[in-house]
Amino acid sequence: MAQLAAARGTADVVLIDIVEGLPQGKALDIAESAPWAGFSTSIVGTNDWAATAGSDVVVITSGVPRRPGMTREDLLGTNAGIVRSVVTNAVRHSPDCVLVIFANPMDAMCHVALEASGFAKERVIGQGGMLDSARYRTFIAMETGASVRDVAAWVLGGHTEATMVPIVSNASVGGVPLTQLVRPKPLAALVERTKRGGAEIVGLLKTGSAFIAPAVATLEMVDAILFDEQRILPCCTLLGGQWDVRNAYVGAPVLLGAGGVQKVYTPPLAEDEVAAIRAAGKAVRELVAATPKA
């Protein structure tokens, strides 16, 4: 994310980590690419939150992966504690920022960040739907042979295999309904591949997970906020009755601009898709209930 953000030249970048030398080394490496990459963005690495003061957007990537022997509750407790600490420090130095949550489990960590920050819900946004939708659109382009630029399709709901909802009912390629372009069996396989998109990358890499697609997806959100682009994007937001889902961070189409989420949309969906989104909301609430409190 830092490398791509610096190369775009749209904003100054500060990398922060608790490990001494790590953010400084990463930032210096990126800075030294500037002469040939052709950007003049300022990029700084630090262990001191003071260097982040006045940030417009703070992207929270902190957390640990699940390790052998670690229960879901262990992971939730560890990452919740990390996210609380990071958010508390971030908002102390940048009280007017918008928080973009990338830490996992993302849906639950949005709730943790909202509570720790004291912000309005519009200023705490999860990234999940952006990455999942990018994968969905990519797989549709592969299946149809069309340019990915002409694919309009989103993934809503949660950010796990069990809770994400690739929307078929209004997906299209160049305005042509997806259901007219892909037969039911390969279409079902395409939806399942989208749900397993992260696991597919992990299975291929063996020693890590995806980097580039998540970074680009997140930066689209950052730019929309920084430049008040008024983009309608699939982001994780706190729903307040949309599709009868309340008090749960769930992926939905939002109008993203200055200050964060400016509006949440509820386009007409198939009955099974609405039911799946409601199930995602229930799953998120259960995950939040299992998250240890501060």
**Beta-bridge partners for 132:** none
Secondary structure (H, E, C), the chain: CHHHHHHHCCCCEEEECCCCCHHHHHHHHHHCCHHHHCCCCCEEEECCHHHHCCCCEEEECCCCCCCCCCCHHHHHHHHHHHHHHHHHHHHHHCCCCEEEECCCCHHHHHHHHHHHHCCCHHHEEECHHHHHHHHHHHHHHHHHCCCHHHEECCEEECCCCCCEEECCCCCEECCEEHHHHCCHHHHHHHHHHHHCHHHHHHHHHCCCCCCHHHHHHHHHHHHHHHCCCCEEEEEEEEEECHHHCEEEEEEEEEEEECCEEEEECCCCCCHHHHHHHHHHHHHHHHHHHHCCCC
Return the number of other C-beta atoms located less than 10 Å from residue 37's C-beta.
Answer: 13
Helix 271-290 × helix 106-117 angle, to 10°: 60
Structure tokens belonging to residue 90: 């971030």
Which of these is catalytic: 159, 221, 280, 287? 159
| CA 277 to centroid of chain Cα atoms | 17
111 noted as active-site residue: no
Active site residues: 159
